[in-house]
Amino acid sequence: MQNLISVVEQHLYNKGFDSRSRKGSSGETHLSVSVVALVEAVALLKKQQDVLLIGLWAAQDFTNDGFTLFYCFEWRGARDLFVLEVRLVGNRAISIASEYPIASYFQREIADGFGIEFTGSFDTRRLFLHEAYADDFHPLLKSFDGHRPESAKITPAREYRFKEITGEGVYQIPVGPVHAGIIEPGHFRFSVIGETIFNLEIRHFWKHRGIEKLAEGKTTDEALKLAETVSGDESAVNACGFAMAVECIAGVNVPRRGWELRMIVLELERVYSHLGDLAGMSVDVAYPVGAAPFFVLREEIMRWNAELTGSRFLKGFIVPGGCARDLSHEHLEDLKEYTLCFSNRFNQALDGIYDSAWVIDRFETTGIVKRELVAPLNLTGPTARASGTVIDTRVDHPYGLYEEFKPEVEIGDSGDVLSRFQVKAGEIEESLRLIGDIITKTQAGPVRVDCRPESGYALSLVEAARGQNLNWVCLKDGRVDRWKVRTSSFSNWLAIQHAVIGNIVPDFPLINKSLNLSYAGNDL
């Protein structure tokens, strides 16, 4: 990565741009560039193989008055990250979506939050601000005090414009945002002929909670509670990602024992999340008998969560500096013994699926996510791995003790529902192996160090059950000035628009469940 940064820096210098690089507290390299130099830098990065845009966010009054944009790049195979930092004059920037398509989604989010305009963007529709909000309302501005804004008058001109597919026999099926099941709201607009899907467009953010704005002015302990509420079944990993950034700012190292316990609960979270997915996929092909063993195992894991941490969803355990409490040797040994029993029952449940030809027939070739979509859409987690991409933040950017306890990356090749089922099943077994290995080698010692950061900023990446989550925390005088969180669901939701093409409408629930994307983790 350092060689690549040097190439970019030299290229900009040769073009007459003044750019300066520096190291961030979490090891990433920042390169400050102008708006015009950004275009030159991005064009050069695009020519390099496996350089991906994984994050784009804005901050107000970061080092001086005005807006600063942060473009975070990952180079596959390199551990460090590269951030292009652009200070704006006014509220206008240049779109880089022609080079990195996922940038369009990030830009729309920033435009809503801060009122920044991106010239040259191919999609300028609103994202999380729906029609009821006034055009000049931007809730992430420092001037917004949190009071309820006045609603705008909804007119036909303000309506959200979906892509129109026309032709003989084409009709639309709108699904949601209110659903029959007990799930969060999301709108899906299908264009079909008969039952074959030709286009799908999603629109979410019906329950956007303003979590990033709520964090402003909070202490790190207060903001941690918000991190745990980003997505209910990612409580531990989001708390961990936030805590890691805070620890970098404070310059403290979590004790080994603290990381051992963190990793145990992080892998337990992955296990119960994937078990719910396997069960859900079975239910969606009308095979509840096959789903039942997975539901039973998931309930048992969640009871273990409560026994170990006091919370079925692992809340309140991971804190800045380590863990809130220690776990007894007896508890951990009992957990290890349980994992051995779990494995036998889990394999029996898998046999019940794999031996059912009609279930495999529904899974196979359904909802294919093509490998060539992974990079431009920034797809991560099982969604990307099931499409043949070797990507896992625990391996690519190891944190905690993942360098020592390295997971084997589960890979599929077909990108369909069956491949995602198999990848998640394999990851459950691998997580159990990691838990057993950690418990075998666990060492007594402190689980927490004092962590009282003052001012600074840091970036962290963690691997949730759904994929890569990003946290960027900026503190001023010990309080949160800006917190940006991007879960894997934010990008991965785009995959479903492609996965359903050519499938029939009744397969949509199965494809949706196989991806297991979070509404809450998207609607921050």
DSSP for 335-394, please give it.
HHHHHHHHHHHHHHHHHHHHT-HHHHHHHTTSS---GGGTTTTT--HHHHHTTT----HH
Distance between first and last Cα of the chain: 31
| Band of pLDDT at residue 1, cut at 50, 70 and 90 | low
Of 508, 400, 523, residue with least CA distance to 463: 400
* pLDDT value of residue 149: 83
pLDDT exceeding 90 applies to what percent of the chain? 85
| Band of pLDDT at residue 293, cut at 50, 70 and 90 | very high
DSSP bridge partners of 67: 60
Mean pLDDT of 99-115: 97
Of 62, 45, 61, residue with least CA distance to 53: 45
Does the pLDDT value for residue 228 go beyond 80?
Answer: yes
Mean pLDDT of 255-271: 98
Burial class (CB in 10 A: 0-12, 13-18, 19+), 339: buried
13-51 pLDDT, tens digit each:
677 787 778 888 888 899 999 999 999 999 999 988 889
**Taking all residues of the chain, what is their mean pLDDT, rounded to a whole number?**
94
- Of all helices (H) and strands (E), which one includes residue 53? strand 51-60
Does the pLDDT value for residue 2 go beyond 70?
Answer: no
Does the pLDDT value for residue 410 go beyond 70?
Answer: yes
Rounded to whole angstroms, the Cα distance separating 493 from 497 reads 8
Neighbours of 293 (CB within 10 A): 20
Does the pLDDT value for residue 64 go beyond 90?
Answer: no
Rounded to whole angstroms, the Cα distance separating 458 from 61 reads 16
Sheet holding 479-486, edge to edge: 456-463, 468-476, 479-486
pTM for the predicted model, two decimal places: 0.95
pLDDT exceeding 70 applies to what percent of the chain? 99
Q: Do 227 and 209 contact (CB within 8 A), yes or no?
A: no
- Residue of higher predicted confidence among 163 and 471: 471
350-391 pLDDT, tens digit each:
999 999 999 999 999 999 999 999 999 999 999 999 999 999
Domains detected in the chain: 2-119 (3.30.460.80), 161-203 (no CATH), 211-366+429-487 (1.10.645.10)
Phi first, then psi, for residue 327 (nearest 5°) are -115, 140
| Band of pLDDT at residue 63, cut at 50, 70 and 90 | confident
Residue with tokens 């709520």: 214
